Structure 1
């Protein structure tokens, strides 16, 4: 039996690791590290540092190239399904190559938390049809928590809901009805530019909890262009960027 453990590792700071996470890393027989290309080598480096600090002497570290989603696929959902299938193929091949007898604990270090806008759980379910698999999840600090902590703000207004959405949804459908506060994730296009900025406040953060962390806060009309410029500059400097923002209307 393969025990696959998805371990949330937070948004970049080694201090984000929980005691439960470090214990699971120490007990793992095989730790998978995805490689996302030279422009995102920092992410693999962070995982390597975590393994160096916490992995046990029995652990094998196996790196593999993460398949890329075909951006030419005009059917978004179909393209994502094909991408997830390819990633599951990579997981399976790496486990079979590095886990003798297909028996032991396999750890995958997941950015943030595996439950929030991350596909690891969906990919793991694909893998369960191919291997004798038991799945466990170790929660991690989310980008939402890190954003609110960095700005020292609560997530919600008193007795008010918060809606979590994506840049694609914001760009295609506008401000979601029924919510005055929204958290926007996975936005590579600064989709807040499509909104009427009047009366909207933004709290934005990139590289949260990392030494490169960048924060901006203020009225969207004035702060939005600053964020677009800062985002472009940071992406050019690092080759990649992870960011998230909270918007409040009224």
Structure 2
């Protein structure tokens, strides 16, 4: 028999982000896989375990922790480096599934946010050719707009979701006034001319450590850089996201 995967979106760290569908899927899974990403991100594995404890109570014997391979950040070819990393993760998954579900069954993976948005879990699962079920989750975009009490789009206007790498390399994309920037480890907004731009930023969204800042890019940008540096020093890791909007204001 072949193992099956259930990818469960768990939101941005708040256990109350779990949908009823997610709770049912966690309770139905034969095992729940808990990936570990090194000592500096031990909080993330602990948070997954805490979420499982809230849902499963004392029935935690199905939790299976395993170590994830580390991406070679020195690889100058970004895409090739990511592909090699995903291959290594897929091989790791196969080893874990073969050892924990030799007779088949369903393994659940808890995915931050939603598995469809800037997450590669589905791509990695495709390498194994397994049957996959997806349970959608609250995204960091939703958590950010809720934290700031804002509407993402202007009336009848589009917005663009992009990455820090793309913003840094290509600048502000033409034809849109609102950008959602994810996966930005270097504060790419520093490369933009700040005049007429507003920013809404958040880190550790939904968690007890949540931080949010907003304002004009000229004023809030330096504050965000300092807050981000301080928070990373405290926690050893950071997950953040921000929205930029061109207002044209002087």
Shorter-chain TM-score tier: over 0.9
Compute the displacement of 1:169 (Å).
0.3
SS at match of 1:51: helix
1:181–1:249 Cα contact (<8 Å) kept = yes
1:204–1:243 Cα contact (<8 Å) kept = yes
Following superposition of structure 1 onto structure 2, how do residues 162-173 of structure 1 map, counting pairs within 5 Å?
A: 162-173=159-170
Q: Please, which of 233, 237, 241 is the counterpart of residue 236 of structure 1?
A: 233
Following superposition of structure 1 onto structure 2, how do residues 148-159 of structure 1 map, counting pairs within 5 Å?
A: 148-159=145-156
Compute the displacement of 1:53 (Å).
2.1
* 1:64-113 deviations in Å (ceiling 9; x for gaps): 11111101111111000000001101111111111131x11110000010
1:184 aligns with 2:181: yes
Q: Which residue of 1 aligns with 2:114?
A: 113
Distance (whole Å) between structure 2 residues aligned to residue 73 and residue 24 of structure 1: 37
2:75–2:81 Cα contact (<8 Å) kept = yes
Q: Structure 1 pair 184/58, CA: closer, same or farther in 2 (3 Å)? A: closer
Q: Please, which of 88, 104, 107 is the counterpart of residue 90 of structure 2?
A: 88
SS at match of 2:207: coil
TM-score using structure 1 length:
0.96
Following superposition of structure 1 onto structure 2, how do residues 1-250 of structure 1 map, counting pairs within 5 Å?
A: 1-55=2-56, 57=59, 60-101=62-103, 103-128=104-129, 133-250=130-247
Distance (whole Å) between structure 2 residues aligned to residue 236 and residue 48 of structure 1: 23
Distance (whole Å) between structure 1 residues aligned to residue 68 and residue 203 of structure 2: 23
Q: Structure 1 pair 104/58, CA: closer, same or farther in 2 (3 Å)? A: farther
Compute the displacement of 1:55 (Å).
3.3
1:2–1:106 Cα contact (<8 Å) kept = yes
- Runs (4+) off by over 2 Å: 55-59
The total of aligned residue pairs comes to 245
TM-score using structure 2 length:
0.96
1:29–1:58 Cα contact (<8 Å) kept = no
**Contiguous gaps of at least 5 residues in structure 2:** none
